[in-house]
Structure 1
Amino acid sequence: MDKFLGVSESGSAKCVICGHVNKSCGNTTNLFNHLKRAHPTVLSVPKGVARIADFFDTNSKKTYENGSFRKSSLDKALISMIATDLQPFRIVEGAGFRNFVYCLDPQYTLPCRRTLNDVLLSNMYEDIFDIKSAVLCTSKLLNDLDHMSENIASSLHEVLSEWGVASNVSAIVTDNASSMIKSCSIVGKRHMPCFAHTLNLIMQESLQ
């Protein structure tokens, strides 16, 4: 309290503004109350003077804007971590993980599971792979009355050779018929069962 001067050993202090003597009782409460009552303007903070509270705004909830460089960088790092470590999308809903991310950067808002799957993972896939599709041939089998695996394999081999892509094909997707599976084996290509056909078989089986 630089507005008071000590005047006795008992702790009394004299106000340098009005000369009033106040008992301090070992603390500054009485002195502070005197200033509030008699000199309220002395306690006011002049305009333009920064306060400590101005630098620690506890009510502020500023977050990175969608599309900002920082937000996009953290989103990409997150989806990369999930894909690399084979983590489930629900990791972003875990209380512990959310608290960990908040401690690292309070301004970063975690994306939801749908955004992870529909947007971030899709964008990541497109950034890594240059996906192209084309219909090369829709011709019939060499012998359209023969549905044996050997005839199917010969038909597949002719199309692959005609387009010069035999060495570039790593897998062939068909239904789950045994003749189709064997024909892929004859051609020397990996067989991939059609997901839609497999799901249809499962549903038919479950409804019987």
Structure 2
Amino acid sequence: MSQPTQNMESVPSASATQPTSFDAPIEINSESAPTPSSGVTGLATSQARKRKLTSKVWKDFENVILDGPNGGSFAICHHCKKKLVAEPSSGTSHLKQHLKRCVKRTNTDIRQKMIARPPNVDGSMQFGNFTFTQEVSRNELANAIVLHEYPLSIVEHIGFKRFVSSLQPGFTMMTRNTIRSDIMKLYQSKKVKAYRLFDKLESRVAITTDIWSSRQKRGYMSITAHYVDEFWRLQNMIIGFVYVPSPHTSEILCDALMNCFLDWNLDRKISTITVDNCTTNDALIQGLSNKLSIRSKSLLLDGKIFHMRCAAHILNLIVKDGLDIIGGAIGKIRDSVHFWTASQAREEKFVEVANGILHI
């Protein structure tokens, strides 16, 4: 059994004549522990060097020193327990090379890790390996363009390309025609899921529709379906946004709505239709009610509650009629505001008058 090396300068003179026992354990004290006779060699210790070990490689090695005439120092790998030379003159390059090829050591580079999920409640994060897929990134870009109404030309902007390249250099940016094709594929996949949802839906569907005019003076009809899902939550989905050529007569609007219902197979599930309060829509609802009654005969209460007039539009008409009565007074107030805010000096004078500092 080997014993630790001890300081020869701190050994009492009487101890030199005493025999040394190698069978009994010896308690080590680096300051005042007795030292065995100088004839004992080859004793291994884990005593640290006097010089400071600054290399990061020593985190994976244990520095061991041999005492005696045949002594020396070596490093023991924490992973495979292999012994390597660790003399001060030998450096640490061979230790680093061993770590690279050590079969029992797993090399982990945190730069190749990505955050797998958001931070936990206690602020800790979980990391996991990230696998880049071009197809997934293209779908996410198409989703972002649709969600935030970005222009298709964003994929050709130099600044956007540089930003994406800094996040993932392996991503190949596509043209606006390609991203348009991706968006249409995304729309078709979403539409198939919506078809299946409406087929399984057991409740009725309420419809709201309105005409929207673009800057090019072209009319578009927006059709929204409102329904209650299986968890009794109110949901809505835009099922149609179609171009309607002028003139926007009741017959043309009726055909556009009917085609949308047949396309989604909702002609037997309509409960009510909410439209603006105008004479054109009255004729539209009448023609639509006749077509649905002939095809399915499934209107609630024989169509008595089929037509719903938009309350917001009615309130808007009421407000407009009220503003027409007081239009003269509103015009004078607007002229007064325009006069006092025409210059900085007038604004300061108005504030002084309002605060009672200046009297007119």
TM norm. shorter chain > 0.5: no
| Bigger fraction of residues in helix | 1
**Which structure has the larger Rg?**
2
Flag the structure with higher strand content.
2
- Answer 1 or 2: higher relative contact order, Cα 8 Å, separation at least 6: 1
Task: Provide TM-score, normalisation by structure 2.
Answer: 0.22
TM-score by length of 1: 0.36
